[in-house]
Amino acid sequence: MKIYLQADKIFIANKAIDFRKSLDGLCALISEDIQENPAEGIYIFYNRSRNRLKIIGRHNNGFIMIYKRLDEGKFFVEQNNDKVHINRQQLDWLLLGANWKLLSESKCKFHTYL
């Protein structure tokens, strides 16, 4: 099964969330805490252990929530005070459980030598 979410903005939450929150609870969190419109982006939330993600996005005529749990290891996310904006490639790396920041930096360095 393939589901494509398209958005110009992809954000990672700046802190771990209570994973009992449902789709509506997370949309409220996006509106109130992140101060963004839930329909205008893809929003990634993580648990305290950083081994689970919930992703909220708009798909055609409604919202969709994707839940991912790693069998081993942790997702590369970190708490900070700012919203973290990533691109599509970084999202793919994050979902694989890879260190998307490190891959992004090495990719940039690689391209500067071409």
What residues make up the domain containing 80?
A: 10-112
Please give the tally of structural domains in the chain.
1
Q: Which residues make Cβ contacts (< 8 Å) with residue 95, sequence separation at least 6? A: 53, 68
Give domain status of residue 82, yes or no. yes
Name the residue type at position 92. D
Over residues 75-94, the pLDDT tens digits come to 998 777 777 899 999 999 99
Give domain status of residue 106, yes or no. yes
First-last CA distance in the chain: 37
Q: Which residues make Cβ contacts (< 8 Å) with residue 85, sequence separation at least 6? A: 9, 10, 11
Give domain status of residue 70, yes or no. yes
Pairing of strands 52-59, 62-69: antiparallel
Over residues 13-53, the pLDDT tens digits come to 989 999 999 999 999 999 998 889 999 999 999 999 999 99
pTM: 0.86
